[in-house]
Every structure is written in C-alpha cells, then in structure tokens.
Amino acid sequence: MLNMIKIAVDAMGGDGSPKKIIDGIILNHQSNKNNFFKIFGNQNEISKYLNNKISKEFYELIHTDKVIKSTDSPLEGAKRGKDTSMWLAIKSVKDKEADIVISAGNTGALLVVSKLNLKMIDNIDKPALSAIWPNKKGMSVVLDLGANIECSAKNLLDFSIMGSSLYTSLYPNDKPKVALLNIGSEELKGNEIIKETYQLLNDKKSKNYDFFGYIEGNHLMEGKVNVIVSDGFTGNVALKTAEGTANFITDELKKAMTGSFIGKISSLLNISNLKKFKKRLDPRLYNGAIFIGLDSPVVKSHGGTDFIGFSNSLDVCHRIVKGNLIDKIKQNI
C-alpha cells in the first residue's frame, strides 16, 4: 500500500451507482495493481458488488448512507453535510489520506464542495475544468469547460500553464503546444480579453510549452496544437457541439450501414474499419474531466458513463498522480 496511488472514490454518484462504480474499480484493478481505492458510500450496497472480487489489501470501504443527489443545486448539495459520500471522499484528499478524488456525481456540487475543502494553488485565482479530446495525431487537453463563465486575461494565462502541466503529466514524451480558442486565426480577431491574453502568452517565453496563437473551432481536431484554452462559456459550447457531432456521425453511419441490403453487405466487408472508427469516437475512452487549480486534483467522471468509462477515468487518476501534476503547476506558475 505504501507505494500505491491512493484514489478516493465517491461510490454513490452518477447513474447506476454504486454498481457501475464498483464494476469499474474491478475492471481497472485487473490491469493495474498499483492503485489503492478508498471507497465512500453505503456499505451494504457496495459489498454485494465487491463480493470478494478484489483482495482487501487493495481497498478500504468507508460507510455513509448520505449522498448528494443529481437533482441538487450546487448549494443544496453542499448543505447536505459533511458526511455525504462526496464530501468524505474530498476530505480524505484534504487530510492527505488519498492522493486524488473521483466522483461521477453532481458536477456543480463537486466543484463547490471541492472549493470548500481544498485550497487554491498560490497565484492561481480560479480553478478550471479540463478534459481530454482526441485529435488526428493523438490527444488534446481542453480547458475551461464550464467552471468559469467569465475570465480575465490572467485567468486564461493561468489556464495555459495548468493545461500544459496537465498535458505533460499525462503525456510526458510530448511537449505541450498551446493555442487560444477564437473566432479567427488573425492576431487582431477576438475580444479585448482574448487579445490581451495573446500578448501575454506571446511575450512570455516558456520552456514548458510552445505558444501557437489562435485556433478556430473547425481546427480543434487537426492535432497541430494539444492544449486549447478558452473561457468556460465558450469551452462548454465547444464540448457539447463536439459530443453532439460525434453522436450524429455515429448514428447516421449506423443507419447507412443497416438500412438496406447493400449497406449491410458493405458493413460486413468493412467490419474491421468500422470497429476502429467506432472505438475512435467512443466517449468512454476519454471519460474523466479534471478540476485543476486546487492544491489536490479532483476528477469528474461523466454521470452517464458505464463501468468501462469509469475504469478509464480511474486510469486518468493514476496518470495524473504519477505525473506529479500539482508539483508541475506549482513549478510552472
């Protein structure tokens, strides 16, 4: 246990919990024996799904029958008290009993309870919600995705530093390439905050990342940059648009391949390529948004994902801690 990465898990958040959470832990454990899970939730419900499928040397179960509901407002969630599964999981990180915390529960409540328990990293004014997106050449880190609707140039500069630190933690062999999401690629395009941030990043020569200027929405997936920075409003719209587009393409392709005899024959002949295509767009592979800027990392799994998606978000947790994300941000800021 001493050399294991300790992950605090809110087992009661998200659709289908705690079963999908425990199934995700079991699946993750099959491929990685270097994680120790501190599981918070209803012991009676959780135990029947664990059912001795993991040795007790790899987990600890902390009982509580109080949960934050998905329908709660962020404030209502926080008011449910300090003995909910989400609050206790976050507190375990605060108390240095765990290295990182993950929940598939109420996003707004997770952000509020995290900020109530954890301190900000020095010189960072606002935390950001980031995620991993696929591109043609690999993966990109995108932030902010909704934690901050309005941002100053200083905030966007901080997001650039945090995003590049996150990218380095997850992909240590690649150098981060940072760009600002904007309505055009020309230097004069955009509002005053974007233009001010451009100047700050352009003037700030960093050995930790390269600044590539602006990027437009239609170039996000090209892979020329791998850290994309925006305010939370713009980032959230971009995220939902990308998710909707991916679902539309997948659904339309499925209709085309199963809607006629020729389509069915074509799908059989191209089954290998279709499987690769489906896997590339599978959102479960990219599950796990990261709330960064606090002095401990917080990961938000999508509430609607299944146990495979949750297992993948546990892998993100492992890589974040192993990559020393918090130390990298503190050094780079």
pLDDT at 263 over 60: no
Residues 242 and 282 occupy one common structural domain: yes
Number of domains into which the chain is organized: 2
Same domain, residue pair 117 and 36: yes
Q: Tell me: pLDDT of 275 over 70.
A: no
Look over the chain and give the mean of its residue pLDDT values, rounded to a whole number: 88
Residue of higher predicted confidence among 61 and 80: 61
Q: Are residues 320 and 272 in the same domain?
A: no
Is residue 315 scored above 80 in pLDDT?
Answer: yes
Q: Where does the pLDDT of residue 278 fall: very low under 50, low under 70, confident under 90, or very high at 90 and above?
A: low
Query: Residue 42: is its pLDDT beyond 60?
Result: yes
191: confidence class by pLDDT, cuts 50, 70, 90? confident
Return the pLDDT at 251: 74
Domain encompassing residue 324: 1-124+293-333
pLDDT tens-digit map of 123-144: 999 999 998 888 888 889 999 8
| Least confident residue range of 30-34, 82-86, 265-269, 323-327 | 265-269
82 plus 92 within the same structural domain: yes
**Residues 162, 298: contact at Cβ < 8 Å?**
no
Predicted pLDDT of residue 65? 93
Same domain, 177 and 324: no
Using pLDDT thresholds of 50, 70 and 90, give the confidence band for residue 332.
Answer: confident
Segment 322-333 mean pLDDT: 88
pLDDT band at 1 (very low <50, low <70, confident <90, very high): low
CB 138 within 8 A of CB 226: yes
Measured distance CA(205)–CA(211) in Å, rounded? 8
Cα 186 to its chain centre, rounded Å, is 30
The CATH number for 221's domain is 3.40.718.10
- Summarize the confidence of residues 73-80 as an average pLDDT: 88
Q: Is-contact 73 42, C-beta < 8 A?
A: no
pLDDT, position 245: 76
Same domain membership, residue 270 and residue 141: yes
Mean pLDDT value of segment 216-227 = 90
- If asked whether residues 331 and 217 sit together in one domain, one would say no
CA atoms lying within 13 Å on the CB side of residue 309: 22
Q: What is the pLDDT of residue 252?
A: 72
Instruction: Note every long-range contact of 238-245, with CB atoms under 8 Å and residues 24 or more positions apart, other chains counting.
Output: 238/142, 238/181, 239/131, 239/142, 239/145, 239/146, 241/217, 242/133, 243/283
pLDDT given at position 285 = 72
Q: Both 119 and 139 in a single domain?
A: no
Q: Are residues 216 and 81 in the same domain?
A: no
pLDDT tens track for 10-28: 999 989 999 999 999 999 9
In this prediction, residue 204 has a pLDDT band, given cuts at 50, 70 and 90, of confident
Q: Are residues 176 and 210 in the same domain?
A: yes
In this structure, the answer to whether residues 224 and 308 fall within a common structural domain is: no
Do 191 and 51 share a structural domain?
no
Q: What is the mean pLDDT of the segment spanning 88-98?
A: 96
Region for 135 from its dihedrals, namely left if φ exceeds 0, alpha if ψ lies in -120 to 50, beta otherwise: beta
Q: Which segment of 62-76, 217-231, 259-273 scores lowest on mean pLDDT?
A: 259-273
Is 25:301 a contact under the CB 8 Å cutoff?
no
Q: What is the pLDDT of residue 128?
A: 94
Q: What is the pLDDT of residue 274?
A: 54
Among positive and negative, which fits the CA dihedral 281, 247, 234, 182? positive
